[in-house]
Amino acid sequence: MSEAMAKRQQALAHTLGLGPVVAVVVVERLADAVPMARALVAGGVRAIEVTLRTPVALDAMRAIAAEVEGAHVGAGTVITPADFAAAERAGARFAVSPGATATLVAAAADSALPWLPGVATASEAMAALERGHRHLKLFPAEAAGGTALLRGLHGPLPGLRFCPTGGITPASAGNYLALPNVACVGGSWLTPADRMAAGDWPRIEALAREASALRPR
Rounded to an integer, what distance in angstroms lies between the CA atom of residue 184 and that of residue 1? 24
Which of the residues 3, 137, 142, 205 is marked catalytic? Answer: 137
Assign residue 146 a region: left if phi > 0, alpha if psi is -120 to 50, beta otherwise?
left
Rounded to an integer, what distance in angstroms lies between the CA atom of residue 154 and that of residue 178? 13
| DSSP for residue 47 | E
Question: Is 49 one of the annotated active-site residues of the chain?
Answer: yes
Do the beta carbons of residue 52 and residue 72 sit within 8 Å? Answer: no
Question: Is 137 one of the annotated active-site residues of the chain?
Answer: yes
Helix (H) or strand (E) holding 96: strand 95-96
Which of the residues 3, 7, 49, 205 is marked catalytic? Answer: 49
Q: Which amino acid is at 15?
A: T
Rounded to an integer, what distance in angstroms lies between the CA atom of residue 198 and that of residue 171? 25
Closest CA to 191 of 60, 48, 92: 48
Q: How far is residue 22 from each of residues 1, 4, 18, 48, 173, measured CA to CA in Å?
A: 26, 24, 8, 6, 12
Question: Which residues form the catalytic set?
Answer: 49, 137
